[in-house]
Amino acid sequence: MTPRPVKSPWLSVVGVGDDGARGLSPIARRAIENADMIFGAKRQLAGLGPVRARTVPWGAPFVKSVARVRRYRGRSVVVLATGDPMWYGIARTLLRTIPAAEMRVIPSASAFSLAAARLGWLVEDVETVSAHSGPTERIIPLIQPGARILALCKNGRTPAAAARILVERGFGPSRLTALSHMDGPKEKVRAATAARWRGRAVPDLTTLAIECIPSKNAQVLSSAPGLPDNAFQHDGNMTKRDVRAVTLCALAPQPFGVLWDIGAGCGAVSVEWCRAAKGASAFAVEPSRKRLALIEANALALGAPGLNIVPGRAPAAYKGLAPPDAVFIGGGVAVTGVLEGAWRRLNPLGRLVANAVTLEGEARLQAWREKHGGELVRIEIAYAEPLGGFHGWRPQRPVTQWRGGKS
């Protein structure tokens, strides 16, 4: 059934700070005064004081509550949010089913802005991340010498988890500041280095500021592709560092881009794709159970929340996957349908990169090039190693790479 047209926004999404109604702007107050229904967390609804509207606390599961909001389409509805609803806030869920044109968003200061103001950090110089809607490991790709990170916390134990992650990577001297209940009557600050943080917990409503300071034995991992092989857990079956860097360059990671990594091994290419661009995601297709476990471990340890593990073999495993912006075939190019199936599903302007180390695989890529054009590249890497009392080149197995794109 086509929904009836609604002329003006019926839904006001009002950001509220920890100071509740006191901190609301006149526009936000008016939206609340004129509302028929107000949805929000119990704590936020209580903070409003007496209102004319019917108040409805969020229930579980949350998506069901959002579906309830939609049932009042056309009435005057307010949804209470924390801080800026558009920044790791409720708007993401609402926008899945309610058009932006039907919504009026009235933000208040986000936790990031409040924290930056207290620390004297310029927001544009800071990395922002949510360890509220995902694992604390999300901070990992942001850990760089000198980086400043603001992380929303899931609960009062998140800073301790972040401290552990920093110490494990040799960033124990990093300065942590936990800013709790900012702007509210229970505002509190707790600071210590990661090494000294230990298990201490803070209030659940906390934003964590991290000033990353490496120790001498820090593991510094760039977000640029070509991480050392030993940054990954692997069983030897992986695209090695130099070839991996060249391969990722050809795949050209893009913000919110989708990669299919066929025969993912330990997931090194998928992990680097996800680390290289904001919102990038990958489907790592791999039949070996043992390697699936490696992919999972690497995605978590190296901070690749957009990595989806797909157990199975190509091309059968392609079914149901979101269409890719880039495809990497690291093994199995000679298997019937692997190249064709991926090429068919590749988005316009998408890139396909296939590597082969066997003569059969190389022959397949040559035939593929005759049909589809593109570039055939031979990658030969050699490392200098001791040879007797001198040094000599130890060549790695050469790799033949086909690169092509769809117009």
Ligand X SMILES: C[S@@+](CC[C@H](N)C(=O)[O-])C[C@H]1O[C@@H](n2cnc3c(N)ncnc32)[C@H](O)[C@@H]1O
For ligand X, the binding residue among 77, 79, 106, 182 (CB under 6 A) is 182
Decide if residue 177 touches ligand X (CB under 6 A). Answer: no
For ligand X, the binding residue among 47, 83, 159, 405 (CB under 6 A) is 83
Site residues (CB under 6 A) for ligand X, limited to 304-343: none
Residue nearest to ligand X (CB): 83
Binding mask 113-142 for ligand X (x = CB under 6 A): -------------------x----------
Decide if residue 169 touches ligand X (CB under 6 A). Answer: no
Decide if residue 87 touches ligand X (CB under 6 A). Answer: yes
Positive or negative, the CA dihedral 223, 228, 232, 234 is: positive
Burial group, residue 170, by CB count within 10 angstroms (0-12, 13-18, 19+): middle
For ligand X, the binding residue among 137, 183, 211, 261 (CB under 6 A) is 183
- The secondary element (H helix, E strand) that includes residue 115 is helix 111-119
Decide if residue 209 touches ligand X (CB under 6 A). Answer: no
- The secondary element (H helix, E strand) that includes residue 403 is strand 399-405
Segment near ligand X (CB under 6 A), from 26-34, 204-212, 360-368, 384-392? 204-212
Sheet containing strand 37-40, strands side by side: 54-57, 37-40, 77-82, 11-16, 103-106
Positive or negative, the CA dihedral 285, 288, 293, 297 is: negative
- The minimum distance between CB 185 and ligand X, in angstroms, equals 11
- The minimum distance between CB 154 and ligand X, in angstroms, equals 7
Segment near ligand X (CB under 6 A), from 176-184, 240-248, 249-257, 269-277? 176-184
For ligand X, the binding residue among 94, 152, 162, 304 (CB under 6 A) is 152
**103 CB-near residues (< 8 Å, 6+ apart):** 9, 11, 12, 13, 91, 94, 95
Distance CA 288, CA 265 (A): 8
For ligand X, the binding residue among 9, 20, 40, 89 (CB under 6 A) is 89
Segment near ligand X (CB under 6 A), from 25-33, 205-213, 256-264, 394-402? 205-213
Decide if residue 180 touches ligand X (CB under 6 A). Answer: yes
180 Rama class: left (phi>0) / alpha (psi -120 to 50) / beta:
beta
Q: How far is CA 48 from CA 18, 30, 88, 126, 317, in A?
A: 11, 13, 23, 33, 51
Segment near ligand X (CB under 6 A), from 179-187, 277-285, 316-324, 359-367? 179-187
Decide if residue 40 touches ligand X (CB under 6 A). Answer: no
Segment near ligand X (CB under 6 A), from 55-63, 76-84, 288-296, 299-307? 76-84
H helices present in 228-358, as ranges: 241-251, 268-276, 289-302, 338-345
**348 CB-near residues (< 8 Å, 6+ apart):** 406, 407
Angle separating helix axes 289-302 and 268-276, nearest 10 degrees: 30
Q: With contacts defined by CB under 6 A, how many residues of the chain interact with ligand X?
A: 22
- The minimum distance between CB 30 and ligand X, in angstroms, equals 21
Among 14, 184, 22, 208, which Cα is nearest to 115's?
Answer: 208
Distance CA 318, CA 185 (A): 53
Decide if residue 197 touches ligand X (CB under 6 A). Answer: no
Distance CA 330, CA 401 (A): 10
Segment near ligand X (CB under 6 A), from 52-60, 87-95, 259-267, 364-372? 87-95
Decide if residue 241 touches ligand X (CB under 6 A). Answer: no
* Residue number with CB closer to ligand X (181 or 244): 181
For ligand X, the binding residue among 98, 103, 111, 327 (CB under 6 A) is 111
Contact 362, 356 (CB under 8 A): yes
- The minimum distance between CB 64 and ligand X, in angstroms, equals 18
Strand-strand pairing, 206-211 and 175-180: antiparallel
Decide if residue 16 touches ligand X (CB under 6 A). Answer: no
Decide if residue 88 touches ligand X (CB under 6 A). Answer: yes
Q: How far apart are the first and last CA of the chain?
A: 37
Distance CA 210, CA 192 (A): 10
Decide if residue 179 touches ligand X (CB under 6 A). Answer: yes
Where does this chain bind ligand X (CB under 6 A)?
A: 18, 82-85, 87-89, 110-111, 132, 152-153, 179-184, 205-207
